[in-house]
Amino acid sequence: EFVPASRVTRIKSSPSVAAAARVRELKAEGRRILDLTVGEPDFDTPQHIKDAATAAIGRGETKYTSVTGTPELQKAVLQTLQRKTGLQYTPAEITIGGGGKQVIFTAFMATLDQGDEVVIPAPYWVSYPDMVLANEGTPVIVSCGEDTGFKLTPEALAGALTERTRWVILNTPSNPTGAVYSREELAGLAAVLKDHPAVYVLTDEIYDEIHFGEERIAGMVAVAPELKDRVLVTNGVSKAYAMTGWRLGYAGGPAPLVAAINKLQSQMSSCPSSISQAAAAAALTGDQGFVRESVDVYRERRNAAVAGLNAVKGLQCATPDGAFYAYVNCAGVIGKTTPDGRQITNDEDFTLYLLEAASVAVIQGSAYGLSPYFRISYATGLPVIEESVAAIEKAVTALA
C-alpha cells in the first residue's frame, strides 16, 4: 500500500481546483453550468506577449537560464518593483519562480521550522494555510469580519503575534474578498510590526493591477520603507496579463531571504521556463493598455454582480475594490428549507443547492475560513453574470 509522507497527509488539495473539477464533470454529463468559480482572467494573453515568446523560441532561447532568470527578465522585474513600490531593488533582492504560488511556497520552505507560526488573516487565499502546513509551520488564523472590511486591524495583529511568529501574510487586493488596504491601514499595521523586529511580512500583491479606484494600490514597503528588510513582496504576471498558464511569478525582498529561496530553487526547478521568462519580460515592460482595458471590463461586471446580488433578499454583497471576486454574505438563507425539504445549515449546503437548483457554481466561504459566505468570480462574461444572478434569485426565492 502506498503511504505518502506526513506533509502530504497534513494538507488538502485546493478547494478551488476541486470546484473546477466538479464543474468540468457536470459539463461532461451534459449539464449547462454557469461557472462563477474561476480564479483566472477569461481573456487571452495579449498578442505582443505571445509574439515575444515566439521570438524567444526563434532565437533559440530554449535552454536553462540562471536561477535568477534571464538578464531581460531581471531588468523588467527590477523596473516593475521600482514602479510599484517607489523603492530601488538590486538583483540580489529579487527572485523568480513558476508562478507567485511557487515563490510563496519556496519562501515558506526557506524560512519555517517546526512550530514556527504564520499569521493568516481570514478570509484567506485557500493555499496559504496548506503551504504553511506542508512546510512544518503552524498557521495562526485571525478572523477578519465584514465589520473591518474583511481586513486585519492593528489590534487583531498585535493579539496574534507571539515569540514563534515568523510571518504575517497580507493579500491586497484580496482573494476571496476583493478588499484593498488603504495607506492608513497599512501604516497602522506597520506601527505594530515596528515593535516586533523578528517578524517578516509577506505581501501578496498578485492582483495589484486590478483595482477600481483612481490611485494605484498601496503596498507595505511603499508605506513603511523602514520595513523593507523584512518584507517579501510577491507578484506575478498571471492575473494582470491573463498569463496563468505561463507560470511566472516574482518577488522582491531582503537579500539573505532571497538567497535562501534561490538556493532551494536551484535544487528544485533550476529556473522557470525560458520562454515564459521572455513573455513575462515583454508583459512587464511593454504596452500596458491591456491592463487598463481589462480593468474597465471587470468594473462593469463587478457593478452588475454586486447590484444584482444585493437585490436578492437574504444575500448581501459588499462592493469589492479590487481583484475579480466578491464575497457574498448568505446568513439570510441559513436555516431555510429547499423545495425538496432539505435544510440549509451552512454555506456549503447553500452552494450545493445553488449548483443543483440554479446550475450556478460558486465556492463556499468555509473554504476561505469565514462563514456563512460564498465567493463569486466575475472573470467571466457579463451575460453569464446576469444569467447567474437571475438564477440565484429564483433559487433563493424558492426557499421556505
Q: Buried (b) or exposed (e) across 119-135, using 16+ Cβ within 10 A? A: bbbbbbbbbbbbbbbbb
Name which of 201, 204, 126 is nearest 172 in CA terms.
Answer: 204
Smallest separation (angstroms) from ligand PLP to the CB of 94: 15
Site string for ligand PLP, 225-244 (x = CB under 6 A): -----------x-x-----x
List of E strands, the chain: 34-35, 94-97, 117-122, 138-143, 165-171, 200-204, 231-236, 249-252, 316-317, 325-329, 360-361, 363-364, 373-377
C-beta closer to ligand PLP: residue 202 or 344: 202
Give the shortest CB-332-to-ligand PLP separation in angstroms.
Answer: 27
Q: Which stretch binds ligand PLP (CB under 6 A): 20-28, 94-102, 132-140, 276-284?
A: 94-102
Binding status of residue 171 toward ligand PLP by CB under 6 A: yes
Contact criterion met (CB below 8 Å) for 87 and 219 = no
Nearer to ligand PLP, 100 or 121 (CB): 100
With contact defined as beta carbons under 8 Å apart, do 335 and 321 qualify? no
Q: Which of 105, 125, 250, 378 binds ligand PLP (CB under 6 A)?
A: 125
Q: List the one residue from 41, 139, 219, 249 that touches ligand PLP (CB under 6 A).
A: 249
Q: Select from 175, 177, 274, 371 the one that contacts ligand PLP (CB under 6 A).
A: 175
Cα dist from 80 to 224, 272, 274, 282, 356, whole Å: 18, 19, 19, 12, 45
**Stretch touching ligand PLP by CB under 6 A, among 95-103, 106-114, 307-315, 344-352:** 95-103
The nearest distance, CB 204 to ligand PLP, in angstroms, is: 5
99 binds ligand PLP (CB under 6 A): yes
Instruction: Classify residue 314 as left (phi > 0), alpha (psi -120 to 50) or beta.
Output: left
Which range binds ligand PLP by CB under 6 A, 96-104, 332-340, 354-362, 383-391?
A: 96-104
Residue 350 to residue 34: CA distance in whole angstroms = 16
Which cell goes with 347?
Answer: 454555506
> Quick check: 100 binds ligand PLP (CB under 6 A)?
yes
CB atoms within 10 A of CB 198: 10
Q: Which of 39, 137, 320, 322 binds ligand PLP (CB under 6 A)?
A: 39
**Residues 206 and 236: beta-carbon distance below 8 Å:** yes
Out of 33, 65, 101, 317, point to the residue binding ligand PLP (CB under 6 A): 101
Q: Does 121 bind ligand PLP (CB under 6 A)?
A: no
DSSP 8-class letter at 58: H
Examine residue 95 and tell whether it contacts ligand PLP (CB under 6 A).
Answer: no
Binding to ligand PLP, residues 185-214 (CB under 6 A) = 204, 206
Q: From the centroid of its chain, how far is CA 65?
A: 27
| 129 lines the binding site for ligand PLP (CB under 6 A) | no
CA 241 to chain centroid, in Å, comes to 15
Contact positions toward ligand PLP, by CB under 6 A?
39, 99-101, 125, 171, 175, 204, 206, 236, 238, 244, 249
